[in-house]
Every structure is written in structure tokens, then in C-alpha cells.
């Protein structure tokens, strides 16, 4: 189906999309949310408190991370620039299956790449908690994270975040409005984790654990001597029963103390450590939680 003015719509979206450099760990995308330099992206794209942002015209700026919500995987950045080509957000609650979807991003080093498809669904997804997602059959690749998912008029309905099966998952634009309403910052642990079922002979069953894949140097997790390969079981208050439980434990806490239970090597021995949580805005870099 032909869309009148599609070329102009796509070009405007490209100009409203930025490239975010994450050092030696690749790059991601972001959206110019307002013309005075406010940008929005995924929290997992922002590897530090001062990432480098490249605009469509090649100009580069050092950005400041103003807020970061690891539970919802959103981050708010600011660059010192004016009169930028800001995107136009839509009301994501009005998105319906079957509508045209347009994705812009910077996958695999291709700046301003475009993909199209249709919306498949809107709502929570099993295994990913209670938050709502926009599901679309647009093709995403590493580097698309943080970029816009737009409707046929070029209005932003979501922020592309991950792929589940063959569908792209985007955070609804209304969730971005919630982020910009200045809620308390999440605590920062400094780890990347992956869920796994752990055999426990003492419990005669398998239990969910979050395997640490990476520990950010100088992070609260590193200072607490947590290591890649350690398996987080929960806090002293409750065990982890879902992937998002760690993010909930950090939600809105800011700097503080978190008592964590974990395994290292011996599945029969539960270890405990007290972690002094940090603030991601004061840290050199941050990752998934």
C-alpha cells in the first residue's frame, strides 16, 4: 500500500534519529524528543554518564545522562544544541494491530537504516512482566535499540528495544512521557544478567537464578566482589522469581544498600553480600541493572 509523502516522512524520521556511541561495545540509537537537545533512548544503550551522540548531519556532541530507568529500559539525555529536528510523539494507547510501522536506527554500522512492517499487538508479553509492549514485524538488528518506531504519519509510537521470536518489541511512547515526569532515579548495580534455571539438590528442584554475564569496572557490583558467573538468587527479603525482579529491587532506590544472595560454584552454599548501590548519573558507566 502506497503512503503519500512516504519519502519525506522517512527523511524526517532519519533526521530525528541519533547515533549513540558506546565506546568499544558498539553503538545504539536515540530519538530527538525536543528541539532544545532532549534525547531519549534505551537504558542499556547508555554505557556511561557522558555518551557521544552523532546527529544526522554528522555533528557530534557529548551528552549528559539526566535520568535512567533500568526497569523500563529508558534513559533521558541532554546535548548542548538548539533548533534540532524533534520527533512528534503519538498517543501509543491508540495504536492498533494491522497499522503500518516504520523503524529507523543504526544497525550494524548502517546509519539511518529504515525497515517497515505492521503492528502485531499491544500489551504485556508472557515472561516480560506486566508492562506493555508494542509488537511489530519490522526487522531489527544490533544498533537499532533506542531508535523510533513510528506510524504511517511519522509520529513516534514506541522506542525499539529488543527482538522476541521474529517480532520487534518497542516501549510505548506513553511510557516515555512517564519517564520525563521526573520520577526518582533507580539504584545502579552495574551488571548484565541472564535468567537460568539452577538445579538445587538442597531444594530437590530447579530455581530461577540471574547469571552475571558482565560486571562493569568500578561499579557497586565490582566493589562488592561480584564476578561474572555468579548467580543472583534474590535479596534478603525475597527470592527472584522473574527476570524483572532485580530491576524492581533497584527501582526508585537511588544510592543505598542492597543485601544480595548468590551462588558461586557450589550450588549448595548460598553466599550473601551487601552492595552499596550507586547513582548511574555519577558513575563512569552503567549497564543492564
Give me the pLDDT at residue 159, please: 96
CATH code (residue 27): 2.40.10.10
84-101 per-position pLDDT tens digit: 999 999 999 899 999 999
User: Which one is catalytic: 49, 145, 173, 285?
Assistant: 145
Q: Residue 236 is placed in which grid cell? A: 534478603
Which residue among 27, 56, 78 closes a domain?
A: 78
Q: Tell me: do 99 and 71 sit in the same domain.
A: no
Give me the pLDDT at residue 152, please: 93
**In the annotation, is 44 catalytic?**
yes
User: Which one is catalytic: 73, 151, 230, 245?
Assistant: 73
Q: Tell me: do 113 and 172 sit in the same domain.
A: yes
Q: Residue 2 is placed in which grid cell? A: 502506497
The mean of the pLDDT values for the chain is: 85
**Average pLDDT value for residue range 237-249:** 81
Q: How confident is the model at residue 80 (pLDDT cuts 50, 70, 90)?
A: very high
Q: How confident is the model at residue 23 (pLDDT cuts 50, 70, 90)?
A: low
Asked if residue 283 is part of any domain, the answer here is no
**Average pLDDT value for residue range 221-229:** 93
Which residue among 45, 78, 111 closes a domain?
A: 78
User: Which one is catalytic: 27, 29, 44, 219?
Assistant: 44
Give strand ranges (E) for the chain. 17-21, 27-34, 38-41, 52-54, 60-62, 64-69, 74-78, 100-105, 113-123, 133-136, 148-150, 156-164, 167-172, 191-200, 205-215, 231-235, 256-264, 266-277
Asked if residue 186 is part of any domain, the answer here is no
Q: Tell me: do 207 and 264 sit in the same domain.
A: yes
**In the annotation, is 70 catalytic?**
no
Asked if residue 260 is part of any domain, the answer here is yes
Q: Tell me: do 174 and 195 sit in the same domain.
A: no
Percent of the chain predicted with pLDDT > 90: 49
**In the annotation, is 16 catalytic?**
no
Amino acid at each position: 500500500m502506497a503512503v503519500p509523502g512516504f519519502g519525506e516522512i522517512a527523511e524526517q524520521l532519519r533526521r530525528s534519529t541519533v547515533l549513540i556511541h558506546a565506546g568499544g561495545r558498539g553503538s545504539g540509537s536515540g530519538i530527538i524528543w525536543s528541539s532544545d537537545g532532549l534525547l531519549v533512548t534505551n537504558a542499556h544503550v547508555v554505557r556511561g554518564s557522558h555518551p557521544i551522540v552523532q546527529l544526522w548531519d554528522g555533528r557530534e556532541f557529548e551528552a549528559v545522562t539526566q535520568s535512567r530507568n533500568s526497569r523500563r529500559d529508558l534513559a533521558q539525555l541532554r546535548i548542548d544544541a538548539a533548533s534540532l529536528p524533534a520527533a512528534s510523539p503519538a498517543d501509543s494507547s491508540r495504536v492498533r494491530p494491522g497499522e503500518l510501522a516504520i523503524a529507523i536506527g543504526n544497525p550494524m554500522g548502517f546509519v539511518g537504516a529504515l525497515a517497515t512492517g505492521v503492528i502485531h499487538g499491544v500489551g504485556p508479553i508472557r515472561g516480560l512482566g506486566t508492562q506493555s509492549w508494542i509488537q511489530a514485524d519490522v526487522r531489527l538488528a544490533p544498533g537499532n535499540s533506542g531508535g523510533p518506531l513510528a506510524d504511517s504519519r511519522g509520529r513516534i509510537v514506541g522506542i525499539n528495544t529488543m527482538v522476541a521470536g521474529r517480532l520487534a518489541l518497542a516501549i510505548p511512547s506513553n511510557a516515555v512521557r512517564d519517564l520525563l515526569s521526573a520520577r526518582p532515579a533507580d539504584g545502579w548495580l552495574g551488571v548484565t544478567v541472564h535468567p537460568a534455571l539452577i538445579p538445587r539438590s538442597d531444594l530437590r528442584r530447579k530455581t530461577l537464578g540471574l547469571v552475571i554475564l558482565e560486571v562493569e569496572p568500578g561499579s557497586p557490583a565490582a566493589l562488592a566482589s561480584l564476578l561474572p558467573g555468579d548467580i543472583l538468587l534474590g535479596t534478603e527479603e525475597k527470592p527472584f522469581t522473574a527476570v524483572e525482579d532485580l530491576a524492581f529491587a533497584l527501582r526508585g532506590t537511588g544510592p543505598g544498600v542492597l543485601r544480595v544472595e548468590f551462588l558461586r560454584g557450589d550450588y549448595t552454599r548460598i553466599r550473601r553480600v551487601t552492595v552499596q548501590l550507586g547513582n548511574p548519573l555519577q558513575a563512569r558507566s552503567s549497564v543492564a541493572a
